[in-house]
Amino acid sequence: MNHLSPSASSISSHPLTPYGWDEGWEAEFAVHAEQGLLSGRVVRVDRGQCDVITPDGLLRADTAFVTPHDPLRVVCTGDWVAVEPAGDPRYVRTYLPRRSAFVRSTSSKRAEGQILAANVDYAVVAVSLAVELELGRVERFLALAWESGAQPVVVLTKADLVPDAATLAHLVQDVETVAPGVAVLTVSSAHGEGLDVLAAVLSGGTSVLLGQSGAGKSTLANALLGDDVMDVQAIRDVDGKGRHTTTTRNLLALPGGGVLIDTPGLRGVGLWDAESGVGQVFAEIEALAADCRFHDCAHIAEPGCAVLGAVESGELPERRLDSYRKLLRENQRIVAKSDARVRAEIRKDWKRKHAEGRAAMEAKRGGRR
């Protein structure tokens, strides 16, 4: 007996279901369906056009109608869109409200964000074991991942290059200490180890694959897809670096269920309004800060600082606190570039501290008289 509701039954047989189509998207799209538009998911974007997978198959569409001045509102890989059913060229008329969005700041001096992928359930941070671990970079990726609304997953690639089980266990533990609430998996794409566990995790939704050049992302994508879909370049053993093997963001259905978005290797990973993401990565510091004497404690030299106390006792590694401060400062600078209110608050705070410093100096001088 079929216990599925008519709606659920229609979703299960929908040609876009393998790409993440569900009852929620169908409800969001209803108004566009009444206008005769075609539903689809963006699998690739380049030069003002995009490839869209639709019930009628893959088609090419122009994004001219949805290219606003705000770079965060452009069509991107992972978007669900409404496309004209016919025409030459065809046009994307709009995209559905995003459930999540992975955004980083651009490398330009202007305060601009760059959206890398939309409607992502899992943000897979690939970290190569061929080179020394950079825990600060892992924390940076995780802050962006949490801020996006996706669930982060750290994948330590090239595990076959660490044959000693005890050493591998220590590396996993090091990453787990900087990734609270995040699964840390080890895989070897060359030997197939750990791929079944990762595939099972990713089968439940849309995943974006992130990491530096040389992290083994394209090799991992090919292993998950069961085919050489992504080009793979040789990586220099001396530093684990190589040329970008993926130059665009591509969305592909996984054979065991789920959808994968591969991204180019990211040399620069700037934060973009990611304060809550930073707080999630450094949850233990935020918990300690609740016990500081002053509610606006900067954890630098203030009396009664619970965070500094934890560093002195060895409970909190000093490297961890330094990384927390660094990411918060960077995020504040980025936000201040685009938010006049925040800029004003920073100036006010600076003037207050400057005045307090001058008053302290005057008091000190007065005591010498």
> Cα 167 to chain center, whole Å?
28
Residue with tokens 């533990």: 173
Q: Of how many residues is the chain composed?
A: 369
| Helical ranges in the chain per DSSP H | 6-12, 23-34, 135-148, 165-177, 195-202, 217-225, 275-281, 283-289, 306-313, 318-338, 340-368
How high is the mean pLDDT of the chain? 82
Residue 66 · residue 74 · CB < 8 Å = yes
pLDDT the model gives residue 235: 38
Q: How many CA atoms lie within 13 A of 275 on its CB side?
A: 8
Convert the pLDDT of each residue in 3-12 to its tens digit: 555 556 677 7
Given this model, what pLDDT does residue 246 score? 42
Tokens of 367: 């005591």
H or E segment to which residue 81 belongs:
strand 80-83
**pTM exceeding the 0.75 threshold for the entire prediction:** yes
Measure the CA–CA gap between 282 and 253, rounded to whole angstroms: 33
For residue 125, the cross-strand partners are 154, 210
How does pLDDT run across 215-264, given as a tens digit for each residue?
788 889 999 998 755 544 433 333 344 443 444 568 999 999 999 998 76
E-only strand ranges, 29-112: 38-46, 49-54, 57-62, 80-83, 90-95, 101-105
**Band of pLDDT at residue 295, cut at 50, 70 and 90:** confident
Reported as a single tens digit per residue, the pLDDT across 298-322 is 888 888 999 999 999 999 999 999 9
Q: Which of 39-53, 93-107, 198-212 has the lowest mean pLDDT?
A: 93-107
246 and 230 in contact (C-beta within 8 Å)?
yes
